[in-house]
Amino acid sequence: MQTNPTRDELLELLKGTVTDAAFRRATFAGATRGAATEWVRVVIRPVDLRGELYYQFAYQGAKKAVTKNFLADELEAPLDELIGNGFAGVHITTNAEEVDIRTSRKGRVHVGRHRLKQPAPAAEPEPHNRTKDVPLPEGKPDRLLEVMGIATPDGRVRPTMRAKFTQINEFLKQFGHALGDTDLARAGREVSILDCGCGSSYLTLAAHHYLNDVLGVPARILGVDVNEEVIRKSTDRAEELGAAGLLFECRTIGTADVAADVVFALHACDTATDDAIAQAVRSGAKLLLCVPCCHHDLNKVISPAGPSEVLRPVLRHGIMLQRAADLVTDAFRALALRIMGYRTDVVEFVATEHTARNLMIRAVRGSSVGPRGLSPAEPGFTAAPVGDPAPVAEYQEMKRFWRVTPYIEKVLGEPFQQLVKA
Ligand SMILES: C[S@@+](CC[C@H](N)C(=O)[O-])C[C@H]1O[C@@H](n2cnc3c(N)ncnc32)[C@H](O)[C@@H]1O
């Protein structure tokens, strides 16, 4: 145990430990008396970006989060700044030892080093891109999968969590592809994501981890849900992970005042999906991923009458009526997004024995970026203008056929209603 090292000694200790090949992670947290820092927690970890070893600093504040990557020879200034920030505790994990630097209330600094009895095998830095196989492969230790109870510390997927593991990877694959259809990953700034109806936040935490730690794209996520209990659990998990830029709030979808680049609505109940779509459109989100859940709204009102009389044999049976209403609801949603200037498609999400709710609506705002991230000057770019007459005509025809006004039209409000006015 070393007591009261000088600032230079501390800096040397940090530099030496962080740049050692055995280094895995350092967490700075807790404020000492009189500390003047905007950061609540800072986590450093090695990352492999384009084949080069960087040190990723994830700064988490009460209101914002920032991620910066430094080469080994650039570390002195950011490490020295962290020492000056006055964190009460620094915990460093390497494959050979645990280092704890604690500052007492009276300002005494204690450095404790504890060598591991069985040194862990050397870990490679997190690769920048593992998308060739699956986003989060099994058989490789992954702290996120471990904290979520999906995998063991050595990376084996727990048998009871296999379906969740598959769902997470399928979602991340879809997300990765859809992200490539936007310019967000290349924008050189933090991507802001809003997860509407985040529930237990498996997919929220996975998306955050995938962007920040696997793809090396700095991102922050706000997860919202009306259920206080799941928000509390999600916050606890985020804290346990020490992940920067993860916030959870108990609130109703559509009430968060955020300008999100990406909006998720994954299995949000009934018309909550429409509320999330409306929030995405209002805030000009570039990407929206929706996996609708139960549909009750149109189920109650569609019936064989007028033009749809011909479908009486289908709508007579409750189960077929429900499935027809599901499809009609999602077709209205996809059309509404096209009308609002989003390039939209509908794909199968994940085939699972646990849910038939496996349809995903993917929408990319099309004014500035084409499929696969094409810019307007590149061949293959097709604009997706707001109020395109083709989807407007289809939407009006669908309404005439079914004699309904879908909830999406109500929640998108006046600007949309003007566009689809017959
Ligand atoms: C089936 S869970 C899905 C959780 C998570 N997105 C997933 O896919 O694993 C649906 C969540 O949406 C939340 N929810 C439903 N309606 C909501 C609303 N209007 N505002 C906020 N949360 C809502 C519920 O509380 C629930 O936690």
pLDDT of residue 128: 46
State how far the Cα of 260 lies from the Cα of 287, in Å rounded to an integer. 9
Establish whether residue 203 lines the binding site of ligand 1, counting it when its CB lies within 6 angstroms of any ligand atom. Answer: yes
pLDDT of residue 149: 92
pLDDT of residue 69: 85
State how far the Cα of 62 lies from the Cα of 197, in Å rounded to an integer. 22
Q: E strand or H helix at 93, and its extent?
A: strand 87-94
Establish whether residue 202 lines the binding site of ligand 1, counting it when its CB lies within 6 angstroms of any ligand atom. Answer: yes
How far does the centroid of ligand 1 lie from the alpha carbon of residue 179, in Å?
23
Name the residue of 225, 248, 291, 293 whose CB sits within 8 Å of the most ligand 1 atoms, as the mutation to test its pocket: 225
Around 68, how many Cα atoms within 13 Å sit in the side-chain half-sphere? 12
Average pLDDT across each block of 10 residues of the chain; the chain has 422 residues. List them in order.
87 93 88 76 81 82 74 92 88 89 87 81 53 76 90 90 90 91 86 96 94 90 96 93 91 92 94 96 95 87 92 94 94 96 88 68 75 53 80 96 96 95 86
State how far the Cα of 190 lies from the Cα of 21, in Å rounded to an integer. 28
Establish whether residue 391 lines the binding site of ligand 1, counting it when its CB lies within 6 angstroms of any ligand atom. Answer: no
Establish whether residue 223 lines the binding site of ligand 1, counting it when its CB lies within 6 angstroms of any ligand atom. Answer: no
Both tokens of 143, joined, read: 């702290």
Biggest alpha carbon distance in the chain? 85
Residue 303, judged by CB atoms within 10 A of its CB (0-12, 13-18, 19+), counts as middle
Both tokens of 318, joined, read: 């409750």
Closest to 224 (Cα-Cα) out of 171, 181, 279, 176: 279
Instruction: Write the DSSP string, 370-388.
Output: -GGG--TTSTT-----TT-
pLDDT of residue 54: 87
pLDDT of residue 64: 67
Q: Which residue has the tokens 């498609």?
A: 345
What DSSP character marks residue 23? E
SS3 229: helix
**Segments making up each domain of the chain, as ranges:** 2-115, 143-420
Establish whether residue 226 lines the binding site of ligand 1, counting it when its CB lies within 6 angstroms of any ligand atom. Answer: yes
How far does the centroid of ligand 1 lie from the alpha carbon of residue 400, in Å?
32
State how far the Cα of 24 lies from the Cα of 77, in Å rounded to an integer. 20
pLDDT of residue 130: 42
Atom of ligand 1 nearest to the CA of 264: 6
Q: E strand or H helix at 359, and its extent?
A: strand 359-365
Pairing of strands 87-94, 23-31: antiparallel
Establish whether residue 268 lines the binding site of ligand 1, counting it when its CB lies within 6 angstroms of any ligand atom. Answer: yes
Establish whether residue 266 lines the binding site of ligand 1, counting it when its CB lies within 6 angstroms of any ligand atom. Answer: yes
Q: Is the pTM of this model over 0.75?
A: no
State how far the Cα of 39 lies from the Cα of 20, in Å rounded to an integer. 25
Q: Does domain 143-420 sit in CATH 3.40.50.2300?
A: no
Atom 12 (ligand 1): residue with closest C-alpha? 197
Establish whether residue 101 lines the binding site of ligand 1, counting it when its CB lies within 6 angstroms of any ligand atom. Answer: no
Atom 23 (ligand 1): residue with closest C-alpha? 197
Name the residue of 269, 295, 296, 360 whose CB sits within 8 Å of the most ligand 1 atoms, as the mutation to test its pocket: 269
